[in-house]
Homo-oligomer: A and B are copies of this chain.
Amino acid sequence: MQSLLQQLSTIHRLSAAAQQDLEKAFLPLTLTKNTFLIEEGKICRQLYFLEQGCIRGYYLSDGKEITHWFGFENDFVTSFHSFSTQQPATEHIQLLEGSVLWSISREKLLQLCEKHHNIERLLRMAYEKYYIRLEERFVKSQFRTAAERYALLLEQAPHIIERVPLGHIASYLGLSQETLSRVRAKL
């Protein structure tokens, strides 16, 4: 719980009352490797905070799994599309390691937004932050070669190679596994 509050405070400072309500609203959750947090076709009603562990989001395209994001310690994860619109998810979210999470329902979160302007602001600022992060990733991947994209990933998440199978990283970078293997072979 400490790391959740800590992470929230890096986005926006909360009032004591808002913080207490949030503490009560998040429920702890420990899950094993390969568990699915969300499956395609189901409606996602929970937002998760990943305290410890590693997660991927992927979708199926022509029968192949395309990993389009990873979550690590201190990330908020969910299927944002489904969570926001309450339409069926188009992606799977799967644990890559046994993980410790905290969850809050959409309903509860919206109640807290209603009650504390404070929390609504934090959420707004969190979306801003995640929007900018996604935009940056988009810009930095277009018109870059395989080697450049891999080098950039290693810069941003040096630990990733030890924790995530190569095939998942390859599709995340928009490459085939064989190409990524060859890129790595050249150091």
Chain A residues near B (Cβ < 8 Å): 59, 61, 66, 68, 80-81, 84-85, 90, 113, 117, 120-121, 123-124, 127-132, 134-139, 142-143, 171, 174
Q: Which of B134, B139, B142 is in CB contact (< 8 Å) with A131? A: B134
Q: How far is the CA of A55 from the CA of B90 in the complex (A)?
A: 31
Whether A127 lies near B138 (C-beta < 8 A) is no
Q: How far is the CA of A5 from the CA of B50 in the complex (A)?
A: 38
Q: Which of B128, B143, B171 is in CB contact (< 8 Å) with A66? A: B143
Q: Which of B61, B81, B121, B124 is in CB contact (< 8 Å) with A136? A: B81
In angstroms, how far is the closest chain B Cβ from the Cβ of A51?
A: 23
Summarize A's interface: helix, strand, loop or mixed: helix
- Do A131 and B127 form a contact, CB below 8 Å, given A61-B143, A68-B142, A138-B68? yes
Q: How far is the CA of A62 from the CA of B163 in the complex (A)?
A: 34
Residues of B within 8 A of A174 (CB): 142-143
- With both beta carbons as reference points, the residue of chain B lying nearest to A66 in the complex is identified as B143
- With both beta carbons as reference points, the residue of chain B lying nearest to A68 in the complex is identified as B139
Q: Which of B121, B127, B138 is in CB contact (< 8 Å) with A128? A: B127
In angstroms, how far is the closest chain B Cβ from the Cβ of A146?
A: 13
In angstroms, how far is the closest chain B Cβ from the Cβ of A45?
A: 15
Could you list some 24 contacts between A and B, CB below 8 A? A66-B142, A66-B143, A68-B139, A68-B142, A80-B128, A80-B132, A84-B132, A85-B132, A113-B121, A117-B117, A117-B120, A120-B120, A120-B121, A120-B124, A123-B124, A124-B124, A124-B127, A131-B134, A134-B134, A137-B138, A138-B138, A142-B174, A143-B171, A143-B174
Residues of B within 8 A of A127 (CB): 124, 127-128, 131
Residues of B within 8 A of A129 (CB): 84
Whether B132 lies near A130 (C-beta < 8 A) is no
